[in-house]
Amino acid sequence: MRAKATPAPFRRPMSSRCAGRDEAAAGETEEAPAEDAAAAGDLPSFTEAQVASGKAAFDANCAVCHGDTLTNNTYGPPLAGEFFHENWEGAAAADLVAKVHTMPPSAPDSLSAEVYADMAAYILSVNGLPAGTEPLTAESGGTISFAQ
């Protein structure tokens, strides 16, 4: 039987991405109310339709490792909860879409760009981000934040 502990390699350094983001955010005020931040495009936007289609694609392609609740993972790291939040808080939405494109590890980029974006939307939704009107794409702006 495989031990269930999360192996150390899952803790990847995020420093390169964080450096660029901090520079970009340097001029922004932190006191803006949450709804203003969302309206200004700070949070990534994705649609309910993406969440539904992303869940179906995730269950078919990803749940075998990451779990169908995103925390009952077996081989990959959890994609919701504290570990995921630590990794992705403050990250660009486009970086998450790009990361999802590297999955599954045995067949990166094997699904359509649309399906990858939908799965990223599903992951954000499970992590408590609100759906909006603009679909998420690989070119989307927006910064992931779990502090709602």
Place of tokens 């495989």: 2
The kind and range of the H/E element at 55 are helix 48-61
- CA neighbor of 127 nearest in space, from 77, 76, 84: 84
Contact status: 90 vs ligand HEC (CB under 6 A): no
Question: Quick one: 79 or 93, whose CB is closer to ligand HEC?
Answer: 79
Out of 79, 80, 92, 93, the only residue in the binding site for ligand HEC (CB under 6 A) is: 79
Q: Which of 76, 94, 125, 137 binds ligand HEC (CB under 6 A)?
A: 76
SS3 label, residue 143:
strand
- Mind giving me the DSSP string for 66-119? H-TTSSS-SSSPPSSSHHHHHHHTT-BHHHHHHHHHT-STTSTT-S-HHHHHHH
Window 5-24: residues binding ligand HEC (CB under 6 A): 10
**Taking the complex as a whole, how short is the minimal distance between the CB of residue 21 and ligand HEC, in angstroms?**
15
Is 34 or 75 the residue whose CB approaches ligand HEC more closely?
75
User: Looking at 25-33, 34-42, 77-85, 128-136, which segment touches ligand HEC (CB under 6 A)?
Assistant: 77-85
Which one of 38, 43, 51, 62 is in contact with ligand HEC (CB under 6 A)? 62
> Would you give the DSSP letter of residue 141?
-
Tokens of 123: 């992951």
Give the binding site for ligand HEC (CB under 6 A). 10, 58, 61-62, 64-66, 75-77, 79, 84, 87, 99-100, 103-105, 119
